[in-house]
Amino acid sequence: MRLLFCHLRTHGDIIRTFPIIDSIKEMCPDTYIGYTCYENMVETCNLCSSIDGVFVQPRIPPVIDNVGGTRLLNCSMLEESINRIRDAKFDIYVDLQGVFQSALVGCLANIQCRIGKDRNNTKDGAYLFYTKIQAVTSLNKMERHFDVCKSIFPAIKPNCASTEWENHTLISIFPGSSHLGILKRWSITKYQKLRNKLGKKYSAKLILGPDEYDLMSFIPEELYKDVIRIKTWNDAKRIIEKSRIVIGNDTAYLHIAIWKQIPTIMICGPTNHIINGVWKYSDGASVVCPQKCKTKCDVWKGNCDKMHKCLDEISVDDVYSAVRKYM
């Protein structure tokens, strides 16, 4: 069997597709698994060794030349990608994103079996392109992907949680986020206080990716020795795999930890912890504000009319209580 999965973006969303891909590869090791995504997601896809090949597709640009209502879309930039996918002769296309472009590509590539989510869980009429529509009942994003694949693998389930982390002594703290998701950041001062409470039995390090180097200006010089700067997703993966516990905001780094079955303490503010947080098939917990914030902020534009209350009201002791179980 030859399967082609599609999720175009983002890093965190693509990482959340890895558990289903690993489970399929473990169940059917001879299955060829391809993945199609935008070019800037290729490095992320390469984190998953169960993916046998990555097929890049460009973004379809927005319509700017609409003549008489007839020129609604130009797909010509997809030609090379579609030809590569056709030549690979996939049996099944699994659209894990559910937007117009992700659904369209499987159809243009003439893949006869195209599976996706129902109309309530897709956008842009994506469900109209599928030959099999799979109802989605799970709320957690990682778990939803298992719902989608049950039409071809009825018995598929996540791998059991690993216990290898019990031999590790590193506690990895990821205090940052991308600049677009800056509303997800818990206070760097609170992270420093948490690190001080962790004691000397374990080695607690602050891990900063390229988008988070700006946090260095808030870290005292005496803590510089406990800061690790990483440059690539592979750097992050290697550190996470050596960790006993991973602590941080709702970011792609934490999704790597959940995928690799390392105990994960995710601090969730403006994002839904049920949808985005630690799921029931791995160790760890999502820590949320005791009083649910009823405001609707725009996470990706940095707008919040409650002045970050949903994160500010999460105390160091709240997070430490969740961490202690795995120390």
Task: Give the pLDDT mean for 209-229.
Answer: 94
Among 293, 301, 303, 244, residue whose Cα is nearest residue 268: 293
**Residue 2 — pLDDT band, cuts 50, 70, 90?**
very high
pLDDT in tens, 243-290: 999 999 999 999 999 999 999 999 999 899 999 999 999 999 999 987
Do residues 42 and 74 make contact, with C-beta atoms less than 8 angstroms apart?
no
User: How far is Cα 33 from Cα 133, in angstroms, rounded to an integer?
Assistant: 20
Judged against a pLDDT cut of 70, whether residue 186 lies above it is answered with yes
Task: Give the pLDDT mean for 112-136.
Answer: 97
The string of DSSP codes covering 2-50 is EEEEE----HHHHHTTHHHHHHHHHH-TT-EEEEEE-GGGHHHHTT-TT
Give the residue with greater pLDDT, 156 vs 199: 156
User: How far is Cα 74 from Cα 261, in angstroms, rounded to an integer?
Assistant: 42
The segment with the largest mean pLDDT, out of 46-55, 69-78, 161-170, 307-316, is: 46-55
Whole-structure pTM value: 0.95
Q: What is the DSSP letter of 249?
A: E
Among 275, 273, 239, residue whose Cα is nearest residue 257: 239
Cβ count near 242 (within 10 Å): 15
pLDDT of residue 231: 97
Query: What does R_g of the chain's alpha carbons equal in angstroms?
Result: 21
218: CB partners within 8 A, 6+ apart: 188, 189
User: How far is Cα 66 from Cα 138, in angstroms, rounded to an integer?
Assistant: 40
Cα–Cα distances (Å) from 211 to 214, 238, 240, 301, in that order, read 7, 18, 18, 16
Alpha carbons within 13 angstroms on the beta-carbon side of residue 266 total: 30
**Residue 67 — pLDDT band, cuts 50, 70, 90?**
confident
Q: Which residues pair with 264 in a beta bridge?
A: 246, 284
What are 101's two structure tokens? 């472009």
The average confidence (pLDDT) of the chain is: 94
Q: Which residues pair with 203 in a beta bridge?
A: 170
The percentage of the chain sitting over the pLDDT mark of 90, rounded to a whole number, equals 83
